[in-house]
Each structure stands twice: as structure tokens, then as C-alpha cells.
Structure 1
């Protein structure tokens, strides 16, 4: 049975299905408009229009579902959560990679008016306890662990009461006083219930109760607490509404011209907005088929592209670089590839060009934003000229206002002048969970979100991100933008990747340091790097220090941790002599 409790405006509801640009697929809602729908209403409408369209096709796990079948899985688990005592407004946390249970938990949680809390897959005990306590999590769904994080051991240490907790009884623990349930996806553990046991509880709750809760929700209700990546200290819980996330995903999918003809591989993490919104929501608001990978592996991703005839996928620049350089890349069929998104960190122009030329991503786009803006603020369009898609982050998304302001006075700046990027619109968060002061610092009295990013707008209305205010290097009173230097150093044929930071300097306040990853088999000296910069750029932009490394420190979302690089570099430069760090 398909429920019909969506609440579109009459104009939108009566609209016919639309054809994608190539005429090969359909989508439901007109491009560049906002829709007044909650997540359960979106799933109902997509299922009504495309019941037999594949929603999920895993290439590495046994999970293939049509939209109708997936919706049944969601309704079952929604009733399970109700049986476990989850009430509207409660927090349900998911600590897992991109497994089927992640997607089911998201849609089931948002169906019953609860809020999904995303947990970074790389968290250890300190971050996990902070997040679960700060978010007031009621129910936790989790895997056994991932890479070097043992989730089971972490939870047993935080909640020693698990060992003696009565089976299938609500939990009561000292360090997490709001936590009542832990659902384990992969194993049976004391004090926890397995996924299968949780699913079996659905029979205790009538379908009508889940439907009643879905009907009772408003589009402006919170649906997700998306924790920031925490690249600077402890993360903050960003409260996002159905209206925020549904429409941001829809508009991003509109800009990509997604439809039922597309098959999207997802190997960016779902705990991050990149996976949750730019991939899942963008795809599912357009009836697109999702082909998730539990985690990023260049070998498995290239195999998935071959097997599923993938038309689009997203990634941070390092993911694309790793795939381009993999031994199986020449054996991969990219003939079906069309579009995707590169985001998460500044993209070198040469990587974009390689992706267009070698991966056949002729319609690749770039999205700029942050978690606090759901996350997209700007996006290049698939029909923009290639130079716009390579050199800018595009223009504002529909019904999002963007401008550049002076970092000190807050006054609006003209085109082609660097300042802080600020945004305003439907996509801006409700605030940080239980952090009113932090919210007030991020969103001013006029509703503008201050991103902390440096940018400029060109004469065509496209935006160019030039760095972070905190990353800007101030050398002898002059502002120097790391990205400008990075983009140039990256053009050297021996260099695979580069990051530039500022380090303390007694004379100038800050000095420039470049971390360089060389291509396989290449050799280079620090002086070669400096001379390459010095001969093409102003002398003051020449790195004083050059460090040859094999990788950059990153968080699980693929963001490079420049603050850690600065801390590590300061220690090395101040405390020891290192052969890999060479002074000018």
C-alpha cells in the first residue's frame, strides 16, 4: 500500500513527470523550485511514481531493493524504533559505514519524527562519549567497528553497565544518562539487541502508528543533527530540518540533471553531508538508483563502475587522484559516466581536467558550502563552460543568497575583491544543539551565516574560494592565500599533491611551508620547489620550508587537517632537526 500524505502545493502536485536533458530518464519535481515535503512524504511520492525502479544495488553486499521494497524495510524499522520507546524529538544515532542499515535507519528515524545523529566512523572513545552525551542520544545503531576503531570495546568502556544489563530492557548508564538502547548490526553483545531482534519488534506496533507520526510532522521540524567534522576542536551538533535537507539535496540533484536514468555510486561517507545530502538525498529526490560502497576502496569503486554501468559519483580530490593512479584504471569502462561532484577541499584545476578527460565526467560540477548550510550554497551547473566548472564553485543555488563581506567591518564588497563568504536562505541551520552562544556567533542578527571562508565573486556571478580566514598566512603584514600557491605548485609535473600552511616566524610573524607529495618514482629537492615558485610568483610567496611527505593528515570525511599540520610542523621546526624539512 502506498501512502498519500504528501503536502505539495497544488501547482507542484498536479505537474507531470519531467524528462532529463537527454530524454532518457524521468524526475518528479520541476527544477529550481523548493518543495514543502518531509522525508516520509518524499519517499512516498517517489515510490508512488517509480515503485519498480531500483533504489539500491550494492555490488559488494547482498542488498538489492526497488523503491517499493526499500520503503517496506523503512516502515518495518520505523515500527521497531517505536517499539523501543523512541518518541518524536528523540535522537537516534547511527555509527556505521555505508551499509544498508545506515540508509534504513535514516529514513525510519525521520519517518517517526525523531532526529538522526550521525557519528563519524573514525571516532575513538573521547569523541564518541562527547557526541552521544552532548546529543542526548536515546538509541544507538552501530557496527562492531571500522579500521582502528573498535566500537564494541569503546561502548563497553563508556557503559560498563552493559555486561550486567537485563536482556531487552531499557539501558541506564552513568556516563550516558539518556541512552536507552544499543542495536548491534554485526554481532550479539551483552546489554544490546541485534538488528534482527530489533526488526522483529516491529510486529508489536501497528502500521497506523508509524503513519500517524509521519502525518504529524512539519517540514520545519528538525530531522538531523549533523556533527561538524571537528577539524578545530570538538564538533558541534548542527540542527537541520526536513525543509533544509530535502530541498538542498533536491536543488543539487537538479543542477546535476539527475533522473531515473542515473546510477550513482556512493563511496563518500554517509555520516557527512557530502554523502547524506549531496549523494543520497540528491539521488533519491530524483528516483535515481544508489550503488553504495561500504567504504572507499579505489579497486572496489572501479569494479563497481564496470559492473553497474555507473553514471555519476562524488569524491574529494584525493579520491579522484587515487582512482586515476590505480592499476585498474585503464581497465575501467567510463563510457556511461556523465556527472558527479568534487567537493570537500579545494580542487586542483589539473585534477578536474583529468576527471573530465579520462573519466568521461563531461558534466562534473563543484558544490561549495558547509554543514551549517545543509550543506550547499553554490554549485556549478552541468551546462556551464568547463573553465567555470574548473576554476569556480559556481553561482548560488536557487533561493540562497550569497555575498562577500569585509572580514573586519562586515561591509559588502564589490566583485573581484577577497572577503568572507556569507549566505542566507532556506538552507541555513536552525542552530547548534544546546549551544546558543556558538549559534549566535555563526549566524548574525540579519540571518547571514558567516562561513569563515575567504572568497571572491567574479563579474559573471560565480564564486571563487581562496581559503579559510584561519588558514590565511599573514607575512610581514601582507595577506597570503595558501590556495593560490598550492594551485601553482600543483602544476609541476613531478608533484602529485601539495598543501601550504603558515608556521610561526620571529621576523615576519608567519613563514610559508609547503608539504609536497611526489608522484611515484619522482625525486625532487626543496630548492627545486622554491625556485619553481620564485620564478613564477612574487618572492614573498616562496615557501621558506619544504617537507616531502607520503600523505596528509585527514579526518574520515577526507578533509585535510591543516591545524594538525601546523601543530606538527611547529614542533618539528622548534624542537628537532629533520632531514625532510629543509630551510631556505
Structure 2
């Protein structure tokens, strides 16, 4: 039933998107031409629609890669610094086809799910595109998952195949899988029959061959001319509305949910990300220290590569601040993507000043609120004046708001940018559902091409967040200004109410972050508090201000009702 439901959702979505003038559920508001920023445009209420001269693409991932290979056959597509792997677009395309044919030779077919479980390695990206070529759905599995978590996600989506390395750090992947699938030790490769994982029959290991598994080299050699012919036939049946990727997102509560994304979702999001970043013939090398199982690298990095011909430079299998700086310096990267904590780590490296970062121009910072002081240091100390903030969710493919490279420092530090083309956003009161005035906090909702097909096998959970009118309820508190720029304030569930006053943890965290001795800070609610204090606790990271300092008068320039009642320092 899950497969049938997901197959139906894209068609319903297309029907909705073709109704150019019948946007049910959209309050009166403003359309912004979002190809370029404009100071003259004004939004009249908390609804904005991103219009554009750029049409949405109706191509599959494979078609996009093919076109880019024709344009840049000899340009580097992928560099994995730690492993010493370098692939041009032509080399990558050839190996993608070999891998796709190999998967078909192993018995996988269109619509099957293949889990990719491990750190950033070349084979991760290879499988991302090989599965897309063959109509197989890639399941992005957190490399830190243990047995129970792994069993849940494999069972939830019915993975037929699982790909992983032998070990990374303390993770012994084969041994972890054995806890849920002990039958693997006595099975022939491709013939696993597991009681607890009944759909799983094929396990592929990247760098060794253990009982019941294929080695990746065997997969690369398995496809012959007949499988290549089969691959071409499959590609003729692919639609841009077919599911391509399942990314698990847990939200704030409950078991992980499999957000299912189509070619159309991901291809168009990557296309628009690349256009807003502004690649040139000289500036196209992107450093990617973030994990591939997250959209920031898999879509914002690799899919952008497939559409725009950018080069993806992976500094290390998992994030290392020093390795990221080395990659930028040695590979002369023009762009660097990461989360705020990654940039904080890079800026904190003892030998930071020894790295040549002069090639940098910009990049994307996303994943959590960006403290203004951090953004200012990134733009100045890291030579990234065109740095932009992006906002999105896995369920939205992921980006829905993004700044422009030449935005003012105020917009870069106080907002997450402007609405993406072909996307609608509105702010509603989370309790009443009423549209709110400009600059008023409420729940952010998104509609457009970017909204996921649904949570795999979870129609009830899907209907909780996607309305009948196809609005995705993000659960984030946000506001829109008169220019259509969005400010993220926090999570609806995190809002603290004291004495009738709304207190937003993210706002308070930003304030505390301005203290010169604060490196990182987290605010959370408490059940019982003294009168006159906010129901929160500031948790301060290492090498930061002691609690006594934060409670002193120099930190009391914020409203009294917002001040945390308790501080805890981690020194």
C-alpha cells in the first residue's frame, strides 16, 4: 500500500501545480520575482510566492548528469582528499553506468530500495547516481546507526540491498548488521533470507568480502552488454516524478520518518541553489565537509554538481575542521558549505592563520541558526563575502529560503534569505490557523514543487504535516518582512510562555552568543522557575564564559523576563 500511495502523490501534486490561478489556501499576498533581489518589491502580509523566468525542469537525475558530462567531460567532478580519489565527469559517468548495470545484474529492479550506510566516500556518490540511473530508490542511512536503528529503517522502507564499508572509527558495520541479520554468515551473496529483515537479500561491502556479501568490485564487473541494454530500457520508463531518495528525519519526537523525494524535487532544488550561488567558468570548486546522508551535501553538493558542472571536494570521511581548511587551501576551492558548528570549529583551529583561504568567495551555511558574530567572522576571516544563509527541511528537498551573495550584512545575519522561485510560503498562527501580519512570529508553511511525496509507508504522519491543499507545516516559528525575507525564530514546540510573554530560545541564544567568552550556547525550558526569570537554562560549551559571568550585569541588556533562571557551564 505504501508504494501505491507514493506513486499516486506525484500525480496529485502535478495537478495542483498546473492550476496557475487556483491556489487554494493562499491568503492575499505578494509575488516576488526571485531571480534577483529588488529593493522596490514589497510584501503586504505574511504570504509570499517566488516567481521566476526560469522554468521548472522535467528531467531525471541521469538526464541532467548526461548533459553536464557533454559540457565538461574533462573537468573534475569529484575529489576525495583522504582517499586520493579524483574523477572527471567522463570517468564518473562511465563508472555510474557500470555500477547501475551491476546492480541490475544482481537482481535489483526499478522501485527497489538500496540503503547506503557509511561515511563520506566515493562509493556513496557512485551509488547515489547509479541507483537513480536504474530507477532504484536510494535510502540514506545515518552512518552512526546501531542495530536497533538500522533494523527500523531497513524494515520501514523494505530495503532489498545494503551497502557499507567494513569499519569506520568504532563502527563495525558487518557486526552491527549481524545483530539483526545473523543469517548473513551462512548465506550466499545475494541469497540472504532473514527472519527479522525479510526484504533484505543483498549486501555489498566497499572494501572487503565477508560471508554473505558481495565486494563492490564484483558489482562493478557484474554487468555485461545485456545488462547495459536493460539499463537503457529502464531509463526509458523513468519519470521525473518517480521517487529517487528516502531521507530519514526524526523531527523532535518519535521514530524516524522516511521523507521520500522525487527526481523533480531534488533536480529543481539543486538547479535553483546553483543559480543563486552564481558559479562561473573560474569559480566552481566546492568544499563539502558535511555528511552525504544529509541534503546539504547530497543535494546542495552532488546534485548541484550534476546540473551545473561544479566540482565537489570532500575533505574527509567525517567532519574534521583541520581537514576542511587543508582541502580549501590545497584544492583552491571557491565555495565552502557547512553548518554553523563546522564553521565555528574551523575558525577555532590553532593554526587557522596558516591556511591560504584566498580562493574562497562564498558558500552556504545552513542546518541551524547562524549567530551573527559567526557569520561576520566567516565573511571576513575566511574571505567569504558572498556567503549566504539557507533554510529548508528534508521534507522540502531541502532549500526554500536562501540569501543572495550581495545581500547586506544585516540580512545575512538576521534572516535566512528570500523565498526560492516556484515556492510559496505563509506564516500562520499555530493555534488558530489565521494568517498573521508582517514581522509577526507564527508557523512557517511551504508549498510548491519542493514538497516531498510523503513519508514512506506513513500516510497518517504525512497527513499531519501536509494539508489537503498541499501546504507543508514546518513546525518552525518564523516571520516575514516587507521585502519577503524570512527570519527563523525557533521551533513551535520550543516556544516558552511566561506571564503571557512569548520567549524564543533561538532569540535568547543569539543574544547570549554576543558575549565575547561564549563559544556555543543552548537554551531549554524548565518546569519550575523563580519569579521574574525566563523558564530556561543557558548551557555553555567548552572554553566559554562561566555561569557567574553570564549572570552578571553586563549580560542584562535583554528584557528581564527573557533572562535564563539557571546557567550551566561546561568548561
Same fold at TM > 0.5 = yes
Q: More displaced, 506-515 or 182-191?
A: 506-515
1:386 CA displacement? 2.2
3-state DSSP of counterpart to 1:117: strand
1:322 to 342, 345, 369: 345
Structure 1 runs of 4+ with >6 Å offset: 506-510
Match of 1:206 in 2: 227
Distance 1:32 1:236 in 2: 32
- Kindly state the Cα deviation for residue 510 of structure 1 after the two structures are TM-superposed: 7.5
* Superposed CA offset, 1:354-395 (max 9, x none): 000000111111111101100111100112222212210011
Cα shift at 1:156: 1.1
1:476, distance to aligned residue in structure 2 (A): 3.4
CA 1:172–1:259 in 2, change beyond 3 Å: closer, same or farther? farther
Among candidates 509, 513, 518, match of residue 537 of structure 2: 513
Counterparts in 2 of 1:346-425, with a 5 A limit? 346-425=369-448
- In the TM superposition, what whole-angstrom CA distance separates every residue of 1:398-427 from its partner, at most 9, and x where no partner exists? 100011111111111111100000000000
- Aligned partner of 1:188 in structure 2 is 209
CA distance in 2, matches of 1:423, 1:207: 40
- Is 1:160 aligned to 2:182, yes or no? yes
CA offsets 1:334-369 (integer angstroms, 9 cap, x no match): 111011111111110000000000001111111111
Range with greater deviation from structure 2 (51-60 or 90-99): 51-60
Report the aligned-residue RMSD.
Answer: 1.8
- Looking at structure 1, the residues matched to 372 and 564 of structure 2 have their Cα atoms a distance apart, in angstroms, of 21
In structure 1, distance between residues paired with 2:427 and 2:297: 28
Question: What is the aligned counterpart of 2:237 among 216, 239, 246?
Answer: 216
Match of 1:464 in 2: 487
String of CA shifts for 1:448-485, please: whole Å, max 9, x gaps: 10000000011211000000011111223432101111
Please list the CA deviations of residues 11-57 of structure 1 after superposition, one character each: whole Å capped at 9, or x if unmatched: xxxxxxxxxx9xxxxxxxx9843211100100110011111111112
Distance 1:533 1:179 in 2: 59
Task: Name the TM-score, length of structure 1 as normaliser.
Answer: 0.86
Note if contact 2:190-2:203 (Cα within 8 Å) is conserved in structure 1.
no
Q: Distance in 1 between matches of 2:75 and 2:190?
A: 39
Q: Which moved more, 1:73-82 or 1:268-277?
A: 268-277
Cα distance in 2, alignment partners of residues 237 and 484 from structure 1 = 30
Per-residue CA deviations over 1:100-152 (Å, capped at 9, x if unaligned) read 10001010001011100000011111110000110100111111233333211
How many Å apart are 1:283 and its aligned residue? 2.9
Higher mean displacement: 132-141 or 273-282: 273-282
- Provide the aligned length of Structure 1 versus Structure 2: 518
Does the CA contact (< 8 Å) of 1:122 and 1:146 recur in 2? Answer: no
Q: Which runs of 5+ in 1 are unaligned?
A: 1-20, 22-29, 551-584
Task: Select the residue among 505, 508, 512 that pairs with 1:489.
Answer: 512
Superposed counterparts of 1:290-329, under 5 Å: 290-293=312-315, 294-329=317-352
**1:285 is paired with a residue of what secondary structure?**
helix
Residues 503 and 534 in structure 2, CA contact (< 8 A), matched pair in contact too: no
SS in 2 for 1:427: coil
Match of 1:117 among 134, 139, 149: 139
Q: Contact 1:260–1:289 (CA<8 Å) still a contact in 2?
A: no
Task: Tell me which moved more, 279-288 or 42-51.
Answer: 279-288
Kept in 1, the 8 Å contact 2:556–2:563? The answer is no
Please report the TM-score for the alignment, with normalisation by the length of structure 2. Answer: 0.88
The alpha-carbon distance between structure 1 residues 31 and 165, as it changes in their structure 2 partners (threshold 3 A), is farther
- Alignment of 1:240 with 2:261, yes or no, is yes
CA contact (8 A) 2:80 2:121 kept: no
Question: Which region of structure 1 is more displaced relative to structure 2, 487-496 or 527-536?
Answer: 527-536
Aligned partner of 2:81 among 54, 59, 64 = 59
Of 254, 259, 267 in structure 1, the residue corresponding to residue 275 of structure 2 is: 254
Distance 1:205 1:445 in 2: 45
Is this contact kept in 2: 1:400–1:423, CA < 8 A?
yes
Per the TM alignment, residue 534 of structure 1 is displaced from its structure 2 partner at its CA by 5.8
Residues 54-63 or 430-439, more deviating: 54-63
Give the secondary-structure state (helix, strand or coil) at the position aligned to 1:514: strand
Aligned equivalents of 1:153, 1:315: Cα separation in 2: 31
Structure 1 window deviating more from structure 2 (272-281 vs 216-225): it is 272-281
Flag the 1:260–1:180 CA change in 2: closer, same or farther, 3 A.
Answer: farther
Contact 1:400 1:424 in 2 (8 A): yes
Q: Which residue of 2 aligns with 1:25?
A: none
**Cα distance in 2, alignment partners of residues 516 and 349 from structure 1:** 17
Residue 452 (1) aligns with residue 475 (2): yes
The whole-number CA distance in structure 2 between the counterparts of 1:68 and 1:31 is 31
* Deviation of the 1:215 alpha carbon: 1.9
- The offset of 1:272, in angstroms, is 0.9
Of 436, 439, 442, the match for 2:465:
442
Aligned to 1:146: 168
Partner of residue 541, structure 1: 562
Residue 362 of structure 2 corresponds to 339
Q: Unaligned 5+ residue runs, structure 2?
A: 1-35, 37-51
How far 1:259 sits from its partner (Å)?
A: 4.2
Judging changes above 3 Å, is the alpha-carbon distance between structure 1 residues 482 and 289 closer, same or farther for their aligned structure 2 residues? same
- Indicate how the Cα distance of structure 1 residues 170 and 44 shifts in structure 2: closer, same or farther if over 3 A, else same: same
Between 370-379 and 277-286, the greater mean CA deviation after superposition: 277-286
CA distance in 2, matches of 1:533, 1:399: 46
8 Å contact 1:92–1:117 — kept in the other structure? yes
The alpha-carbon distance between structure 1 residues 193 and 133, as it changes in their structure 2 partners (threshold 3 A), is: same
Highest relative contact order (Cα 8 Å, sep 6+), 1 or 2? 2
